[in-house]
Amino acid sequence: MDSISVGLQQKGKRLDIVVNMTKDIENLFKNRTVEFEIFIPETVKDIYIENSVGAVELDGITAEYIKSIVSVGELKLNNITSKNARLNTSTGSVRINNSQLNGRITTSTAQ
């Protein structure tokens, strides 16, 4: 855990969660993961998620605007309603279940 740091920073109405992993020789080949479960209040209407590596799963959200950028990993949406969605994965699939979305979904490579 010494090689993983988690930072929270509030910028106005925005909350940034940043996870950094050091690239020291001692931990180079160790499998290290960080998993978050974040509960979003119903009053939040704009959601933006950016993730470099790993899966992102959204469940039970109603929002005006949802934007998600996942570089390497799967994007899963369950029970989501959004009038304006912009969803993107570079390497990974997009799975949608029981959701109503207007917007654009793009992926470079998918299963």
Per-10-residue mean pLDDT for the chain, 111 residues long?
74 80 64 76 88 89 92 93 93 92 85 51
Cα–Cα distance measured from residue 92 to residue 72, given in angstroms and rounded to the nearest whole number: 6
Phi, psi of 81 (to 5 degrees): -130, 125
Which pLDDT value is given to residue 13? 78
Provide the pLDDT for residue 19.
Answer: 77
pLDDT (0 to 100) of residue 87:
93
Measured in whole angstroms, the distance separating CA 57 from the mean position of its chain's CA atoms is 7
Instruction: Locate 109 and state its tokens.
Output: 């490579």
Query: Which residue is listed with tokens 């950094």?
Result: 20
